[in-house]
Amino acid sequence: MPAAIFEQPLRLEQIPSLTYSATPDRFDQTWAAPLATLLGLGRAVGADFVEFFLERKNYISCLAEDDTITSISPSLVSGAGVRVFKGKADCYVSTNDLSFNGLKAALEKGLAIMGLELPGPHSHVPELNLEPLRDYGTSRAKENWLASCVSMQTMGDVLLEANAALAKQATHVQARRAAYFRDWQEVLVASSDGTFARDIRLTQSVGYNLLCADGEHRSSIGERLGNTGDPSFLTAWDYEETAAKVAESAGKMLYADYVESGSYPVIMANHFGGVIFHEACGHLLETTQIEKETTPFMHKKGQKVANENLTAWDEGLSSEAFGTIDMDDEGMPVQRTLLIENGILKNFLSDRAGSMRTGHPRTGSGRRQGYTHAAASRMRNTYIAPGDFTVDELFASVDKGIYCKKMGGGSVGPTGQFNFSVDEAYLIENGKITKPLKGATLIGEATGIMNKISMCSNDISLAPGFCGSVSGSVYVTVGQPHIRVDDITVGGR
């Protein structure tokens, strides 16, 4: 920027002639000057708050079907979004033009949507001071992550070896699939409250899907692992162990009896069993639901909403978990949020807009799929905390019930009604697992099931997941120990 501009306050007529030398292939301190100028312009026009979110992404996925690599899909993305607030109203505009003029055009469009017009050419643009760049990419030694990831050749080799291992372990195989993806992302957040922060994320996932068939008998089992921050994740994968686990489950489910419909006590396994809490309760604790007045927990803070044996957390801090991030997509450092303590609702999950509109404090939960989405309150690593019981004590408490070892897909209504399939289930009789069952579906609603979780074991385990909502699809962790649900409707035959 010309030195003369620093000697006097910047005027609007000078902005078109400004030149900046921001580093084109990296978000660093050189982006402070152009973004500070644009943020100052937004405030001068009358916006109450302005935020820029910049993103660069390098993504690739690989799929092996049986003994062939059938798909390799790379994707390179770069762009920015600008959010403009006036009062409690806001708008969001995105662009893939990261030049100064491209960002300025996006800002002006957002201002116009909010009914804000640029002042006369001689109007002053106030200087906006950004904090020194808070750079998690550098401070957490993430700069070499992308260069350290495996090659496309290695991706294919590992997946083919994994599928070969699955063929040796399983019987009556109809189809084998091994899939992997790597998602590298660099983000920069600058906003008119002075926030200026950068992060690098590396998210990876690998897993199996196995379909077995013998005459009219069918079984389908999947298993997925996820990681953040370890470039050697794929080559460290013990696919032999995973293959044995998937093959055993598929074999048991192939000839399983169909479950009889009814109301049963249920023992839900740890790990991905936590998806029900995530879907049926976690979403209802996001301020996006409070804004819509679609959550039954809206006015329940400080009140009992679950069994006294249940405590639940959401956080972004667990090492290498799928929902772990150093800062959210609004530049706020992540932290640990106590959702429910001994059955009492303690906190909601809030982003900036949610905090403005509901009064609940921000929790580092502003997340988005990418630059084309505005941030919203979203979960990170969400789980039921371990309890005081052993797994044996949970099973011993059930005379006749269902053990839900592996959850499948499902749907959740806007106020917490849910319907989830169970991929792997077993009958419990006199406290013991007896025979495998298939075709089970769990049916209920959030406020009901939370009060029926009467026992939690001490063997918490976390699992990777994908969560879709108003700000797109984000990576999350679900989890819990084994839990006992006193009774729930189980659909079957």
Q: What is the pLDDT of residues 77-136, one digit of tens each?
A: 999 999 999 999 999 999 999 999 999 999 999 999 999 988 888 888 888 899 999 999
Q: Which among 226, 257, 288 is the end of a domain? A: 257
Report yes or no: 399 and 427 within 8 Å, Cβ to Cβ: no
Domain that holds residue 133: 3-59+67-139
Query: Does the pLDDT value for residue 201 go beyond 80?
Result: yes
Instruction: Note whether 288 and 378 are same-domain residues.
Output: yes
Q: What is the mean pLDDT of residues 169-178?
A: 97
Domain membership flag for residue 480: yes
Instruction: Note whether 243 and 308 are same-domain residues.
Output: no
Query: CA end-to-end span of the chain, whole Å?
Result: 73
Report yes or no: 387 and 298 within 8 Å, Cβ to Cβ: no
User: What does the pLDDT read at residue 17?
Assistant: 84
Distance between CA atoms of 82 and 96, rounded to whole angstroms? 12
Q: What is the mean pLDDT of residues 239-256?
A: 97
User: What does the pLDDT read at residue 5?
Assistant: 42
User: What does the pLDDT read at residue 172?
Assistant: 97
Instruction: Note whether 275 and 238 are same-domain residues.
Output: no
Token pair belonging to 422:
């169970």
User: What does the pLDDT read at residue 303?
Assistant: 98
Domain membership flag for residue 191: no
Q: Residue for token digits 């309890």? A: 387
Token pair belonging to 264:
């049963």
Confidence of residue 3 (pLDDT cuts 50, 70, 90): very low
Helix intervals (H) in 367-408: 391-396
Distance between CA atoms of 197 and 328, rounded to whole angstroms? 10
User: What does the pLDDT read at residue 364?
Assistant: 98
Residue among 442, 434, 480 at smallest CA distance from 264: 442
- Encode pLDDT of 321-364 as tens digits: 999 999 999 999 999 999 999 999 999 999 999 999 999 999 99
Report yes or no: 206 and 178 within 8 Å, Cβ to Cβ: yes
Q: How many residues does the chain have?
A: 493
Report yes or no: 257 and 437 within 8 Å, Cβ to Cβ: yes
User: What does the pLDDT read at residue 493?
Assistant: 81
Distance between CA atoms of 125 and 38, rounded to whole angstroms? 9
User: What does the pLDDT read at residue 6?
Assistant: 45
Using alpha carbons only, give the angle 63, 65, 71 rounded to the nearest 5 degrees.
35
Distance between CA atoms of 150 and 233, rounded to whole angstroms? 9
Confidence of residue 412 (pLDDT cuts 50, 70, 90): confident
Distance between CA atoms of 200 and 50, rounded to whole angstroms? 23
Residue 319 neighbours by CB under 8 Å, 6+ apart: none
Q: What is the DSSP string of 197-222?
A: EEEEEEEEEEEEEEEEEETTEEEEEE
Domain membership flag for residue 192: no
Instruction: Note whether 274 and 391 are same-domain residues.
Output: yes
Using alpha carbons only, give the angle 70, 226, 153 rounded to the nearest 5 degrees.
35
Instruction: Note whether 327 and 440 are same-domain residues.
Output: yes
Domain membership flag for residue 329: yes
Instruction: Note whether 74 and 205 are same-domain residues.
Output: no
Distance between CA atoms of 438 and 172, rounded to whole angstroms? 18
Domain membership flag for residue 342: yes
Residue 464 neighbours by CB under 8 Å, 6+ apart: 205, 224, 225, 226, 227, 321, 322, 475, 476, 477
Domain membership flag for residue 171: yes
Instruction: Note whether 347 and 285 are same-domain residues.
Output: yes
Q: Which among 216, 234, 257 is the end of a domain? A: 257
User: What does the pLDDT read at residue 123?
Assistant: 84
Q: What is the mean pLDDT of residues 235-250?
A: 98
CATH code (residue 246): 3.30.2290.10
Query: Does the pLDDT value for residue 2 go beyond 60?
Result: no
Using alpha carbons only, give the angle 260, 266, 269 rounded to the nearest 5 degrees.
120
Query: Does the pLDDT value for residue 267 go beyond 90?
Result: yes
Residue among 270, 279, 66 at smallest CA distance from 173: 66
Distance between CA atoms of 91 and 109, rounded to whole angstroms? 10
User: What does the pLDDT read at residue 8?
Assistant: 66
Residue 138: other Cβ atoms inside 10 A: 13
- Encode pLDDT of 388-407 as tens digits: 999 999 999 999 999 999 99
Residue among 167, 168, 187, 149 at smallest CA distance from 62: 149
Instruction: Note whether 326 and 277 are same-domain residues.
Output: yes
Report yes or no: 307 and 384 within 8 Å, Cβ to Cβ: no
User: What does the pLDDT read at residue 274?
Assistant: 94
Report yes or no: 280 and 445 within 8 Å, Cβ to Cβ: yes
Instruction: Note whether 416 and 333 are same-domain residues.
Output: yes
Distance between CA atoms of 303 and 310, rounded to whole angstroms? 13
User: What does the pLDDT read at residue 448?
Assistant: 92
Residue among 264, 313, 267 at smallest CA distance from 453: 267
Instruction: Note whether 245 and 311 are same-domain residues.
Output: no
Structural domains counted in the chain: 3
User: What does the pLDDT read at residue 80?
Assistant: 98
Residue 375: other Cβ atoms inside 10 A: 28
* Cα Rg, the chain, nearest whole Å: 25
Residue 483 neighbours by CB under 8 Å, 6+ apart: 267, 268, 273, 384, 394, 453, 455, 456, 457
Token pair belonging to 62:
């690989």
Instruction: Note whether 304 and 438 are same-domain residues.
Output: yes
Q: What is the mean pLDDT of residues 228-245?
A: 98
Token pair belonging to 487:
């009774």
Domain membership flag for residue 317: yes
What stretch of H or E contains 182? strand 173-191
Query: Does the pLDDT value for residue 1 go beyond 80?
Result: no
User: What does the pLDDT read at residue 151?
Assistant: 97
Query: Does the pLDDT value for residue 7 go beyond 60?
Result: no
Inter-CA distances, 148 with 60, 74, 205, 249, Å:
14, 17, 16, 35
Residue among 197, 174, 436 at smallest CA distance from 329: 197
Share above pLDDT 90 across residues of the chain, in percent, rounded to a whole number = 90
Instruction: Note whether 320 and 408 are same-domain residues.
Output: yes
Using alpha carbons only, give the angle 146, 469, 361 rounded to the nearest 5 degrees.
90
Domain membership flag for residue 16: yes
